[in-house]
Structure formats: C-alpha cells, structure tokens
C-alpha cells in the first residue's frame, strides 16, 4: 500500500523494477493518492522502490505486508477504490469474497485542512495494522487496515473514519485468497 500527497499535485505511483503489479489506485482531487501493488515473492526479493511526481509540500508512505499461503497464480480476487472530501468514506469491493480464509488489506490517505495528529477509526471487523495519523502532526495521514477471514459470498466494505475535517481522502481495498 503506497500513499502519496502533494499540496499542489501528485501523479500515479510507479514501481521501478517492473516486477510488482499495480492492482489499482484512487486519487482525490489530484492531491491524495492511494495505490496498491502486489507481488508473488520468491523469498529472496528486495524491497520495492516507488516513485511519484509530487508538487508543493510532499509526502509518501509505504506499508509492506507479507502474506503466505495465497494463490500464486491469482492472489487478488477483488478490490475497491474510493475518493471523497469528507470523513467517513466508504470503499466497497466490486466482487464477492469467494471463500472463507481470504485476507483483506485496505489503505487510506487522509489530507486534512491543517497540520494535526488524527485519530483513525477502522471499519467494523477491520484492525489497524499501521498508521502515521497519530504519530505525525502534518496535513497528510496514511493508514493500513486488515481483515482476517472476511465472510464468504458477500461484497466487502470498509468505512474509513477520522475526527478531523478532511480536504481530500482516498482509499483502496484488496481481497487475497
């Protein structure tokens, strides 16, 4: 999960080796971007290098999550992308969770009107894995939540919520099997 922010603009995030697959991205008002990449690793892979062209005040955050036991041929089975200007913001997958035992990862980027620490509330049944919101007093805050074994046969959603007036917000979900 990669988030990028530019107070003037941010472009699509790219990965330099070409071995990571971009699942998708969500960009709110050309300033708050959330992108998710995946890779079926061999165990000796080096960490990726991500880039974006940012203008104005800039920040990028990367959350790297390693999973084992997923389908090496088609690990991502559905995803969601959402953008908006208010909190809460809901991201809902475009497909169903097919079976029990899947794992969901969400990434969020919240750009606030002024620099401050932000309290993030993960959606119901989601657990926050990492964040920058409560540890930095900046305008850009990144969050990564996970959901172990979401219910099979339904779409999956997360409502990302924080308590500060938001200017831009973007979020993505992937479900892996």
Of residues 75, 84, 110, the one with CA closest to residue 29? 84
Q: What pLDDT shows up at residue 166?
A: 65
Q: How many CB atoms lie within 10 A of CB 140?
A: 27
Q: Which of 35-39, 82-86, 113-117, 168-172 has the lowest mean pLDDT?
A: 113-117
Q: Give backbone dihedrals phi and psi of 98, rounded to 5 degrees, phi first.
A: -80, -40
The more confidently predicted of residues 88 and 96 is: 96
User: What are residue 133's DSSP bridge partners?
Assistant: none
CA distance 56 to 78: 34
Q: What pLDDT shows up at residue 101?
A: 94
DSSP 122: P
Per the listing, tokens 């699509």 go with 12
User: Distance of CA 118 to CAs 81, 141, 167, Å?
Assistant: 22, 8, 13
What digits encode the pLDDT tens for the residues 124-159? Answer: 999 999 988 666 677 888 999 999 999 999 999 999
CA distance 138 to 126: 25
């Amino acid at each position: 999960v990669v988030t990028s922010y530019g107070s003037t603009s941010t472009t699509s995030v790219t990965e330099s080796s070409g071995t990571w697959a971009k699942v998708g991205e969500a960009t709110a008002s050309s300033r708050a971007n959330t992108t998710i990449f995946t890779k079926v690793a061999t165990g000796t892979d080096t960490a990726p290098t991500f880039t974006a062209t940012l203008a104005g005040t800039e920040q990028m955050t990367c959350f790297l999550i390693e999973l084992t036991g997923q389908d090496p041929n088609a690990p991502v089975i559905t995803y969601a992308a959402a953008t908006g200007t208010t909190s809460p913001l809901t991201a809902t997958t475009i497909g169903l969770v097919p079976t029990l035992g899947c794992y969901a990862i969400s990434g969020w980027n919240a750009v606030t009107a002024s620099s401050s620490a932000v309290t993030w509330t993960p959606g119901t049944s989601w657990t926050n894995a990492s964040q920058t919101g409560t540890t930095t007093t900046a305008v850009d805050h990144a969050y990564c939540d996970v959901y172990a074994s979401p219910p099979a046969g339904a779409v999956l959603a997360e409502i990302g919520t924080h308590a500060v007036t938001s200017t831009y917000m973007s979020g993505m979900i992937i479900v892996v099997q």
